[in-house]
């Protein structure tokens, strides 16, 4: 664990406060799952739907 400088500016009405603090920095223990682009998600959804439609067609003999 280390400390990282954070530069802060706060404006409240006409009052401006500037300061620097030391914030806690640590390695990410577990990376979250990779985010897919929205288009990829839409395409996956369409593919899943296509597969379901094909499956239904086969079941109905069409």
Partner 1 sequence: MAIEEQTFTVDAKGVGNPDFYRSQIPARTILAPNQKNWYAMYSMTIAAGSVVTVPCVTVPQHSRLYIGSGIICCDDLLNWQRVTWSIEIPGVVELEIGDVRYKVFENVIYPGAGVIVLESGYILSLDGYNLDPANSHGFSGQILGMMEEV
Q: Which stretch binds partner 1 (CB under 8 A): 5-13, 39-47, 54-62?
A: 5-13
| 13 or 62: CB nearest partner 1 | 13
Q: Which one, of 26, 29, 28, lies nearest residue 1 by Cα?
A: 26
Which pair of tokens denotes residue 53? 């439609």
Closest distance of CB 30 from partner 1, Å: 11
| 12 or 59: CB nearest partner 1 | 12
Scan for tokens 């682009």, then name that residue.
Answer: 37
Q: Does 62 bind partner 1 (CB under 8 A)?
A: no
Please tell me the distance from the alpha carbon of residue 43 to that of residue 52, in angstroms, as a whole number: 14
């Amino acid at each position: 664990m280390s400390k990282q400088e954070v530069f802060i500016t706060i404006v409240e009405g006409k009052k401006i406060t500037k300061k620097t603090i030391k914030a806690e920095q640590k390695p990410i223990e577990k990376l979250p799952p990779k985010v897919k682009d929205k288009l990829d998600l839409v395409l996956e959804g369409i593919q899943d739907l296509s597969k379901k439609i094909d499956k239904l067609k086969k079941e109905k003999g069409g």
